[in-house]
Amino acid sequence: MYCSECGTQSASGLKYCKSCGARISRGSSDIRESVAKTFSMAAIFVGVFGLIGFAIIVKELIESGANFGFVLALALIYLSALVAMTYILVNKVLGLIGIEEAPKVHDKAPPVLSPKITSQLEEHREPASVVEETTRDLGKVPIERNR
């Protein structure tokens, strides 16, 4: 196995490269794909079997002569829970395969910055500091002695 950062060959049991210290990622994309596949299959099963179960429950309730308001309320609760479960599973799959939510579009255009000329030095600014050239010379001060 070779390091993806520096290209040196490393032993198969190591988690980090000996020469550059980078983490040797072995099979992490395979694991992600496997987990994403599992979650996508779970989302499909939850959706399909949830709808089949929903149809069976509604059919039995209608045939038994249950109140229509009760059947409607139960159907709304059941479908909202089913949608929530499939939404969570699909979001997990999209996160695992690296698809993020679409970026939010802003109404305002970003501010336009003026291009800087980097080939020239900036002009000297006066003063560079508020205290520049305001201190006195701290030379030797003659000391008078009492004689």
Count up the domains in the chain and report the number. Answer: 1
**What's the number of CA atoms in the CB half-sphere (13 Å) around residue 139?**
2
Q: Does 105 map to a domain?
A: no
Token digits for 51? 């709808």
Q: Does 82 map to a domain?
A: yes
Q: Which amino acid is at 24?
A: I
Q: Does 146 map to a domain?
A: no
Q: Does 124 map to a domain?
A: no
Instruction: Please report the pLDDT score of residue 104 as a whole number.
Output: 61
Q: Does 37 map to a domain?
A: yes
Region for 27 from its dihedrals, namely left if φ exceeds 0, alpha if ψ lies in -120 to 50, beta otherwise: left
Query: Mean pLDDT, 10 residues at a time, over the chain (147 residues)?
Result: 72 75 64 77 86 90 88 91 87 73 63 76 68 61 71
Q: Does 114 map to a domain?
A: no
**CB of 36 closer than 8 Å to CB of 93:** yes
pTM for the full predicted model: 0.46
Q: What is the DSSP letter of 27?
A: S
Domain residues for 71? 28-96
Instruction: Please report the pLDDT score of residue 77 as a whole number.
Output: 93
Q: Does 10 map to a domain?
A: no
Token digits for 74? 């139960």
Q: Does 32 map to a domain?
A: yes
